């Protein structure tokens, strides 16, 4: 699942050019004269020679630019806006030096690299251009008067951009071979999350810490070969019961420059609203941040361009450290539509992953800035260009909720930022669900919503196998300004639906629900689940099981919160809560076992037993609450709803066993 997505992250578009087949390697670059000047008076030079010198010269240029930025930052007369924009440029220039240093080591020692190494280098060379463009945009946004009088900064920005473009083109022509296009690159398996569990491998001590904070059900229940190593676990809790009270403290304590083989540094952020601007710097690698759930663990801020921040540094959470994983959190920017650009998450981390997170904002909510990124089962809320940037990014099984924008504004879900034809970047949206947020759905219907628009000249975006609700403008896409980028961008739609998702026939759903006690409920659940395929009875059985599991998990959270609120109200109430807490855990375990059994084709009678065990557990909770506390706990409807789902799941399973 995730492996496939990571393989697809790079959009390889270059063909190989054997050095012997071209006498002028520079002719294939956007700036042939600049290319030739990097290695003058050498008629026998190959594409490899030119690339090495271009990368080396690019490194020298990046180092000089960083020194220049640091000199200007020492100026005591700098305005706040200029200082903030220059701080962005310092960070980005430092990253470019890192990327060029790594790239030069690769190209300088060999003319042949594996497909995965070529992909790595192409990725960071693509990011050079993104970083330089971002520096330029920040200066124009919040320091326009300053930059207009500083040609010593603006001129190197232009020159470096051209030099980086030449280096990227030469690398693509020399190292990225045509026969590698579409090949499966070697890739590490990161996470397998279909049943909602993390395959984490940790010491008994770390496991005890993780489980003690309510995450027992998040751990993988069975031993798997490809578990993810966890080196250390720490907890953030606002009440002081954890290791730290703020997220930034926990991040600062993480080791520097970890390697993947050493395992993840896991930060569990307990439920609460964290009003802080969290930064995961480039030296904080392979960090895993796990919350208690969407709308339970919330990181919130309100920086915006209108208030003097650049788009780049307006983010509530900023991630640069390679290999970052974020799970079960809400990232929010509350600046509002009136403040225009205001980022919730800015992600510049290579091989980063977000699972089951919510990103909430208005304009520019999710900044997929650069490198390779993956998002699964996430919610994204916004208005104008609310998924934007120039990463090679896959968003899979996500919900996208366009909100109500300002008057006279329109919504554009994506704004992809590819500036060079050799960059391996683009936005890929697969198996996602695009529906209006509540405020847009209840509005007068005059707001126009588009799939995207071309932010930069070579913008690339694809929607595939996704549900596009009827509120999307029939034109699909919107121009940026006049005919800008209309002939150089690439936009595609493949196998999307605007009704029943994935082409599922009504008769198949009717058949699947035919033996359920609540047929209307069964059909409604299947029809509303746009996240999972439903090509056959097995798929529909999985949906019935999965929705039941989610309901059980939600009820467990409710009982836990209600128990904490009740405190020592009475012995009877506490006894009832204790029984229900235990029985719901038992029910949830049984449902999880049923889901695992369905995926692994366990014998039907075993799966049926799991579902019946879950029903028995819920019935035990119901009896206990009535005996101990009457209807005081108000759990009757909650229990009955879950029992209905369990009975429906069993009915769907019976149909699947007979006809699947």
Catalytic residues: 385
Specify the 3-state DSSP secondary structure of 302.
coil
CB atoms within 10 A of CB 256: 10
Sign, CA torsion 155/160/161/166: positive
Q: What one-character-per-residue DSSP string does 390-414 give?
A: SSEEEEES-EEEE---STT--EEEE
User: What does the alpha-carbon distance between residue 228 and residue 193 come to, in Å, rounded to a whole number?
Assistant: 12
Of residues 353, 340, 372, 416, the one with CA closest to residue 133: 416
User: What does the alpha-carbon distance between residue 133 and residue 129 come to, in Å, rounded to a whole number?
Assistant: 6
User: What does the alpha-carbon distance between residue 262 and residue 430 come to, in Å, rounded to a whole number?
Assistant: 32
Contacts for 522 with CB less than 8 Å, ≥ 6 apart: 512, 513, 516, 544, 648, 651, 652
User: Cβ(264)–Cβ(288) under 8 Å?
Assistant: yes
Six-digit token pair at 21?
Answer: 């087949």
Measured in residues, the chain has a length of: 660
User: Cβ(235)–Cβ(289) under 8 Å?
Assistant: no
User: What does the alpha-carbon distance between residue 179 and residue 183 come to, in Å, rounded to a whole number?
Assistant: 8
Of residues 457, 454, 372, 370, the one with CA closest to residue 415: 454
Reported as type and span, the H/E element at residue 259 is: none
Q: How buried is residue 605: exposed, middle or buried, by Cβ count under 10 Å (0-12/13-18/19+)?
A: exposed
Cα distance from N-terminal residue to C-terminal residue, the chain = 23
Of residues 293, 188, 301, the one with CA closest to residue 248: 301
Q: What one-character-per-residue DSSP string does 67-98 give?
A: HHHHHHHT-TT--HHHHHHHHHHHHHHHHHHH
Q: Which residues pair with 414 in a beta bridge?
A: 387, 452
Angle at 601 between CA 600 and CA 604, to 5 degrees: 135
User: Distances in Å between the alpha carbon of 381 and those of 186, 392, 398, 613?
Assistant: 34, 21, 11, 39
Of residues 385, 413, 415, the one with CA closest to residue 398: 413
User: Distances in Å between the alpha carbon of 627 and those of 575, 622, 623, 624, 630?
Assistant: 10, 9, 6, 5, 6
Angle at 522 between CA 639 and CA 644, to 5 degrees: 20
Range 241-245 contact pairs with CB under 8 angstroms and sequence separation of 24 or more: 242/213, 242/268, 242/270
Question: Position of tokens 């009875």?
Answer: 537
190 conformational bin, left if phi > 0, alpha if psi -120 to 50, beta if neither: alpha
Contacts for 407 with CB less than 8 Å, ≥ 6 apart: none
Of residues 607, 644, 605, 639, the one with CA closest to residue 623: 639
């Amino acid at each position: 699942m995730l492996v496939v997505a990571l393989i697809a992250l790079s959009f390889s578009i270059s063909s190989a050019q054997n050095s012997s087949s071209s006498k002028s390697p520079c002719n294939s670059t956007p700036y042939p004269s600049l290319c030739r000047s990097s290695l003058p008076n050498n008629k026998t030079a190959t594409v490899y020679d030119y690339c090495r010198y271009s990368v080396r010269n690019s490194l020298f240029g990046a180092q000089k630019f960083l020194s220049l930025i640091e000199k200007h930052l020492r100026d005591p007369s700098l305005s706040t806006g200029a200082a903030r924009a220059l701080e962005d440029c310092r960070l980005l220039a430092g990253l470019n030096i890192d990327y060029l240093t790594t790239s030069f080591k690769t190209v300088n020692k060999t003319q042949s690299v594996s497909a995965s190494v070529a992909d790595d280098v192409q990725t960071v060379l693509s990011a050079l251009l993104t970083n330089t463009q971002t520096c330029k945009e920040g200066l124009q946004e919040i320091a326009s008067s300053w930059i207009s009088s500083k040609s010593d900064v603006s001129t190197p920005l232009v020159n470096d951009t051209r030099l980086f473009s030449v280096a990227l083109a030469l690398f693509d022509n020399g190292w990225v071979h045509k026969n590698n296009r579409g090949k499966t690159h070697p890739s590490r398996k990161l996470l397998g999350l279909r049943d909602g569990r993390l395959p984490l491998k940790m010491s008994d001590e770390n496991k005890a810490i993780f489980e003690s904070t309510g995450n027992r059900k998040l751990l993988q229940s069975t031993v798997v070969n490809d578990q993810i190593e966890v080196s250390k676990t720490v907890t953030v809790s606002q009440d002081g019961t954890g290791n730290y009270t703020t997220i930034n403290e926990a991040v600062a304590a993480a080791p520097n420059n970890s390697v993947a083989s050493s395992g993840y540094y896991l930060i569990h952020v307990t439920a609460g609203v964290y009003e802080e601007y969290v930064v995961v710097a480039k030296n904080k690698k392979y960090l895993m941040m796990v919350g208690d759930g969407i709308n339970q663990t919330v990181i919130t801020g309100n920086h915006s361009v209108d208030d003097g921040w650049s788009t780049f540094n307006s983010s509530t959470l900023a991630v640069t450290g390679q290999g970052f994983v974020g799970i079960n959190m809400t990232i929010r920017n509350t600046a509002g539509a009136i403040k225009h650009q205001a980022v919730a998450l800015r992600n510049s981390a290579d091989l980063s992953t977000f699972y089951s997170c919510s990103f909430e904002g208005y304009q520019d909510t999710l900044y997929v800035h650069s490198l390779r990124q993956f998002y699964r089962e996430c919610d994204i809320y916004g208005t104008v260009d609310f998924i934007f940037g120039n990463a090679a990014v896959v968003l899979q099984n996500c919900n996208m909720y366009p909100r109500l924008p300002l008057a006279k504004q329109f919504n554009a879900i994506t704004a992809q930022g590819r500036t060079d034809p050799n960059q391996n970047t683009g936005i890929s949206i697969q198996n996602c669900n695009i529906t209006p947020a509540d405020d847009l759905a209840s509005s007068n219907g005059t707001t126009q919503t588009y799939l995207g628009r071309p932010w930069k000249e070579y913008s690339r975006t694809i929607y595939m196998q996704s549900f596009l609700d009827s509120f999307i403008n029939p034109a699909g896409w919107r121009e940026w300004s006049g005919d800008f980028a209309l002939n150089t961008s690439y936009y595609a739609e493949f196998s999307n639906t605007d009704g029943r998702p994935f082409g599922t026939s009504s008769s198949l759903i009717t058949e699947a629900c035919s033996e359920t006690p609540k047929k209307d409920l069964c059909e409604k659940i299947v029809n509303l689940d746009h996240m999972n395929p439903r090509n056959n009875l097995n798929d529909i059985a999985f949906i019935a099981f999965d929705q039941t599991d989610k309901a059980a998990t939600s009820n467990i959270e409710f009982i836990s919160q209600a128990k904490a609120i009740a405190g020592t109200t009475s012995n009877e109430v506490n006894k009832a809560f204790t029984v229900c807490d235990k029985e719901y855990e038992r029910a949830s375990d049984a449902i999880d076992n049923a889901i695992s059994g369905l995926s692994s084709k366990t014998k039907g009678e075993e799966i049926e037993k799991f579902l019946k065990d879950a029903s028995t557990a819920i019935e035990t909770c119901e009896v206990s609450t009535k005996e101990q506390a009457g209807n005081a706990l108000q759990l009757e409807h909650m229990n009955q709803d879950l029992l209905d789902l369990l009975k429906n799941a069993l009915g769907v399973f019976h149909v699947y066993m007979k006809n699947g």
